[in-house]
Amino acid sequence: MQNFEFFNPVNIVFGQGQIKKLSHLVPTGTKIMLAYGGGSIFKNGVYDQVKAALPGLDLIEFGGIEPNPRYETLMKAVEIVKNEKIGFILAVGGGSVLDGVKFIAAAALWEEGDPWNFLTNRKLVVTKAIPLGSVMTLPATGSEMNGNSVVTRLSTQEKLAFNANAVLPLFSILDPTVVYSLPEKQVANGVVDAFVHVMEQYLTYPVDSPIQDRFAESILVTLIEEGPKVLANRSDYDAAANFMWAATMALNGLIGVGVPQDWATHTIGHELTAFHDIDHARTLAIVLPGIMQVKKESKREKLLQYGERVWGVREGTVNERIQHTIQKTVTFFESFGIPTKLSAYNIGADFIPVVCQRFTDRGIKGIGEKGDLTIEQIAEVLTLQL
């Protein structure tokens, strides 16, 4: 096991009927921004529950945060936070709203020029932010229990991430009944998103870390079991709850402590979103099988362990087991109606050099857990997934 630090002070309030606890969780004596996305929280009753839990508070609403939240939109909120002297931001929505609020919270106190800089320049560290909390309405990204945020800039077609303890939510309310009204596509995306989050922290190379490995496998198996139940019956409370908790545990830092991490699938996937506006989870379902194939040698031991423990693949030669395991993964994604090929989005081979050029322009030589997935191999991954 590698040395690590783990710090996750997010207060998780989990279960049906918990939104009413907002009145105890939100700080008093300060102006609050209530931030959300599109209209779903008006349809599923969450908006009404939130408002009912916060009577008499000084609230300013900011709606319209997009899926893949946009810098241009968020900067409007930053202006309001500054002008209105907002002291707390409550994010009500899915991962995009939460990611957007983290950016707003950090940008509002950023004093070194354009806040976009802390996304483009890894050396700039966010150390302060307006305190924030969340009511999570879409199990998927894990943003409710981490300090990660991904923001898209339309003008430059860039999608970039930052991470800071300063933007860890003070609390996150997870009420599984929000799943009842989710469209099929969002459930499917959520399951795949959480699944790939685990894979990025698990499918690397062994470092003798049995707790982390087994926790990761626990989440994968749970998503495989519970995902289809949620899709089949959105009102199955226990399935919704288990899916929701799995998505949170997939990216709250715990399974990634002391182990190497990959994140090449995300890095390449972000470009598919930036250029073609494909849903985040769907980009991951395209890229991951390609990386498993191209990196089957350096990931061999973990691929075999994953195949055996998660999919029960025990028969055949090493290569047969690996191919069987990749196929199991592809079939799982596709069983949720999520394609794993670029052709499903009418993207052809001409897109590949465009993506590669972007990595070259950023001075990137290689990505992944060993930094050895080269630009040429990124092209190979995307060619396999045409």
C-alpha distances in Å from residue 284, one per residue of 22, 128, 187, 339: 34, 31, 15, 10
Q: Is 130 a residue that touches a copy of itself (CB under 8 A)?
A: no
Q: Which of residues 200-239 bind a copy of itself (CB under 8 A)?
A: 208-211, 214-215, 217-219, 221-222, 225-226, 238
- 198 sits near a copy of itself (criterion: CB under 8 A): no
d(CA 20, CA 258): 37
Residue 146 lies near a copy of itself (rule: CB under 8 A): no
Beta carbon of residue 332, minimum distance to a copy of itself (angstroms, whole number): 17
* 245 Cβ neighbours under 8 A, 6+ residues apart: 14, 174
305: contact with a copy of itself by CB under 8 A:
no
CB of 213 to a copy of itself, least distance (A): 8
CB nearer to a copy of itself: give 7 or 56. Answer: 7
CB closer to a copy of itself out of 23 and 293: 23
Q: Does 127 bind a copy of itself (CB under 8 A)?
A: no
Helices 237-250 & 210-232 angle (0-180, nearest 10): 140
Residues 18-37 contacting a copy of itself, CB under 8 A: 18
Q: Establish if 312 lies at the interface with a copy of itself (CB under 8 A).
A: no
CB under 8 A: which stretch of 15-23, 109-117, 123-131, 345-353 binds a copy of itself? 15-23
Closest CB to a copy of itself among 233 and 327? 233
3-class secondary-structure state, position 86? strand
Type of residue numbered 350: D
Binding status of residue 161 toward a copy of itself by CB under 8 A: no
CA–CA distance, 241 with 297 (Å, rounded to integer): 37
Phi/psi at 153 (5° precision): -110, 115
The nearer residue to a copy of itself, 223 or 284, going by C-beta atoms, is 223
Does position 4 interact with a copy of itself (CB under 8 A)? The reply is: yes
Q: Which two tokens stand for residue 293?
A: 């194939």
253 to 282: interface string for a copy of itself, x by CB under 8 A: -x--xx------------------------
- C-alpha neighbours within 13 Å on the C-beta side of residue 347: 25
CB atoms under 10 Å from CB of 286, counted, come to: 28
- Among 262, 250, 267, 248, which Cα is nearest to 216's? 250
13 binds a copy of itself (CB under 8 A): yes
246 contacts 223 by C-beta, under 8 angstroms: yes
Closest CA to 204 of 359, 5, 333, 372: 372
Token pair for residue 39?
């209209």
Q: Phi and psi of 174, rounded to 5°?
A: -120, 100
Q: How far is the CB of 381 from a copy of itself (least distance, A)?
A: 31
Residue 1 or 349: which CB sits closer to a copy of itself? 1
175 or 271: CB nearest a copy of itself: 175
Task: Give contact residues for a copy of itself (rule: CB under 8 A).
Answer: 1-18, 208-211, 214-215, 217-219, 221-222, 225-226, 238, 241-242, 245-246, 249, 254, 257-258
